[in-house]
Structure 1
Amino acid sequence: MMWLVTQIFLWIISFVATVNCQGGGGGGGGSAGIYGIFIVVIILPLYCCYQCCAGKPRRSNAKFVNKTTTNDEEKQIIDIKLFQSGQWESQYFQYSKWHGPYQIELSFDALQSKVTGSGLDDIGMYSIEGTYSTQSRRMGLTKTYQLGTGNRLENLGHTVTIQLEWNKYNNQFEGKWYVRTKKFKGAGDFKMNFDKRNQYMPVLSIYEKV
């Protein structure tokens, strides 16, 4: 917070200095003043907005999972094979490339609509907890890294918010990951699918009315 206040203060000083600066031909000061106003009115609010919102989802996991975007008929359909306990594969996009796939062990509690699990990726070991909905076909996960494992430069023992929705065309869950730490604020694409190699028979999409 103190860093942000310092940055705003420096922007204001820069603005005042720009406005008071007079050009050699008499017209320079006016254009400089307009430029300074542009910085304060346009750039500064955008900068503050970025600092506030970067790495943060628009909705909490609970609100994201329970928000239904399908029509009334589709709301009555539940795919009982989408949320299976066992090994899953995940990939995330960062630094202009995809990382993974990495295996995750997930367990779904149908009574409470909760999901827990654990895994290991190129950052380190982590635990998973979250919620899901068979109606909206969404998952909201919180990944918490175990400090001291994996990449010691990247692993800060931080948490990652992951919000996913089923894509029936690609046959996988797709969405975004969000991170806010002292060193990094950002988001990127994330995808995850059930690892069918551990099954004797392929999983078919089964629908039933409720």
Structure 2
Amino acid sequence: MHRICFGLLVFICLGITVECQGGGGGGSGGGGFSGGSHHSWSSSGSCKGSRCSSSTVITLSIIGGIIGFVSLVFGIIYCKKSCTGKPSRSNAVFVQQDFQQNYELEKYDSSIFKSGHWKSQYLQYGRWHGPHRCSLVFNGHSMSIKGSGSDDIGTFTLDGVYASQTQRIGLTKTYQRGTGNLSENLGHQVTIQLKWYPENNQFEGKWYVQTAKYHGDDKFVLKFDGQHIETVYEKL
């Protein structure tokens, strides 16, 4: 995309330069025609002189502009397709964003990262799907997340990272092929990036998918839904 735009810019600049140089010689004939030998067109109809050069430059500029415009349109379409469904940052970078600011203000609470059952909902095709239940385990030493669950696409596993200081979660959902909706489940991965919203007592953000058949992204929410049974018994 960048190469197309750069090439187009160079082509237009060269065209403008050549056109300016060719157009400068047309002012010397202001006195009219003094004889047949000064005509810009010979008797055979062939093009000669500065007028012909200027016409050629204009024609090439128009053709180049059309080609450049078409290339730009296709470039935008390609860029939009390739960028849709892909987050601008990796999960590791996302969870650490604004770390220093939040750390200084001490606006974080590690108790929101609870191992147990969570329920999620995601927006796709103009409607909400879920809630679907999944199990998550937060490792406070490695700041990593492991989990599993199922939704209307199929059975999946979850791997991710989180940061208490920024109150962010980054997950990679991997579907088990052959489960759930066979037309939708390609055994693909979904990137999920979420931030904590205390006013709603839940994590909110977006999911991203890029496969050979589908590119998309939209809203995603995750809310705690209770501890694991074994964890509850351990506390008694």
TM-score w.r.t. the length of structure 2 is 0.66
Consecutive unaligned residues in structure 2, runs of 5 or more: 1-58, 230-236
1:195 Cα deviation from its structure 2 partner: 0.8
1:107 is aligned to 2:145: no
8 A Cα contact 2:115 2:228, kept in partner: no
Q: Residue 185 of structure 2 aligns with which residue?
A: 155
Tell me the percent identity.
47
8 A Cα contact 2:153 2:180, kept in partner: yes
1:38 is aligned to 2:69: yes
Amino acid in structure 1 at the alignment position of 2:70: I
Q: Normalized per residue, which structure has more strand?
A: 1
Q: Which runs of 4+ in 1 moved over 4 A?
A: 32-37, 69-72, 196-199
CA distance in 1 between counterparts of 2:126 and 2:109 reads: 34
Consecutive unaligned residues in structure 1, runs of 5 or more: 1-28, 200-210
1:35 Cα deviation from its structure 2 partner: 6.2
Amino acid in structure 2 at the alignment position of 1:38: F
Q: Residue 192 of structure 1 aligns with which residue?
A: 222
Q: Residue 80 of structure 1 aligns with which residue?
A: 110
Amino acid in structure 1 at the alignment position of 2:71: V
Superposed, which structure 2 residues align to 1:110-129 within 5 Å? 110-129=140-159
CA distance in 2 between counterparts of 1:122 and 1:194 reads: 20
CA distance in 2 between counterparts of 1:107 and 1:78 reads: 19
Amino acid in structure 2 at the alignment position of 1:54: T
1:68 Cα deviation from its structure 2 partner: 1.6
8 A Cα contact 2:123 2:129, kept in partner: yes
CA distance in 2 between counterparts of 1:144 and 1:196 reads: 23
Label 1:189 to 1:165 Cα distance change in 2 as closer, same or farther (>3 A): same
Correspondence for 1:97 among 113, 127, 130: 127
Greater gyration radius: 2
Using CA pairs under 8 Å that are at least 6 residues apart, name the structure with larger relative contact order, 1 or 2. 1
CA distance in 1 between counterparts of 2:146 and 2:200 reads: 24
Q: Normalized per residue, which structure has more helix?
A: 2
Aligned length: 169
CA distance in 2 between counterparts of 1:136 and 1:129 reads: 19
1:145 Cα deviation from its structure 2 partner: 0.3
CA distance in 1 between counterparts of 2:133 and 2:104 reads: 34
1:183 Cα deviation from its structure 2 partner: 0.5
1:87 Cα deviation from its structure 2 partner: 0.2
8 A Cα contact 2:121 2:131, kept in partner: yes
CA distance in 1 between counterparts of 2:200 and 2:193 reads: 17
SS at match of 1:103: strand
Please, what is the CA RMSD of the aligned residues?
2.5
